[in-house]
Amino acid sequence: MKVIKAFPEVNLYWLLNGKGSFPSNTNKQESEPLPAPDSIITKKKPPKPTVIAEKKIEKVIVFYTDGSFKSYHE
């Protein structure tokens, strides 16, 4: 119901059953114009974390369901 309220051009029958027409031919209402890009509030991206030291993989261990394992070293 929130989708229908937000987007009146969406046909409820089409949304629920995948049959009918999209966009709805019966709901031809003038929609509000979209806001200008300047008026849209954008979130600031968090700063990238600084790399202290490069890490390397020393060992990989694979555990199997039968209790055995295999170890891989560089």
Mean pLDDT by groups of 10 residues along the chain of 74 residues: 81 78 57 59 74 82 93 84
Does the reported pTM lie above 0.75?
no
Predicted pLDDT of residue 32: 58
Predicted pLDDT of residue 36: 61
C-alpha distances (whole Å) from 1 to each of 18, 23, 31 are: 16, 16, 18
Predicted pLDDT of residue 26: 54
Q: Is the dihedral of CA 46, 48, 52, 56 positive or negative?
A: positive
